[in-house]
Amino acid sequence: MRVLHSFLLLVLCLFLHVSAREWEIQHKEADDEIQERINTIVPSTKWCGPGNKAKNYNDLGFNHITDACCREHDYCPDSIKALRRKHNLWNASLFLRSKCSCDHKFYKCLKNSTELIAVGIGKVYFNDIIIPKCFELEHPIIGCKKYEDYRCIKYIVDKKKPKKYQWFDLPSF
């Protein structure tokens, strides 16, 4: 009886292990598929989207002006990865968030591009899908001086208090 009990327990453990492993594989495949869809580089560019598909720093796509904007944004010296904490800030977004100076530079670069695709990338990044916030080391925010499309684009800060990292809205494209 003891042998049978041990055998059944072993079979149950193996079944649970195999089932758990299969569940893990299925969910990893689903996560990979979601990540693959998110990690799509914009056609005719090599840098616009998460990551890049360039052979080297100077390798730009057909829309090279816009691609150069994306490449420069990718090289932002400070960012917070999705679902991570840095500078005592939690990025609850599914997308990387950058230092405000990098996002403002990206915004201006896309606005100055003569390529039609820059408008689409700007609208997706700044308006439709991501609607990002950026972060900066600044005196504590105490209010908003100017709103645009439900976003604060000019802040009131308390210059008497020490600077700290905090989230800021970005303008619509």
Q: Annotated active-site positions, please?
A: 73, 103
Question: CB count, 10 Å around CB of 120?
Answer: 16
DSSP secondary structure letters along 106-144: HHHHHHH--SHHHHHHHHIIIIIS---EEEEEESPEEEE
Q: Provide the β-strand partners of residue 167.
A: 135
Question: CB count, 10 Å around CB of 53?
Answer: 12
CA distance 156 to 168: 12
| Cα separation values, 131 from 23, 38, 62, 112, 123, Å | 34, 15, 26, 20, 9
Helices within the chain (DSSP H only): 2-38, 64-74, 100-112, 116-123
CA distance 78 to 86: 10
Cβ atoms of residues 172 and 127 within 8 Å: yes
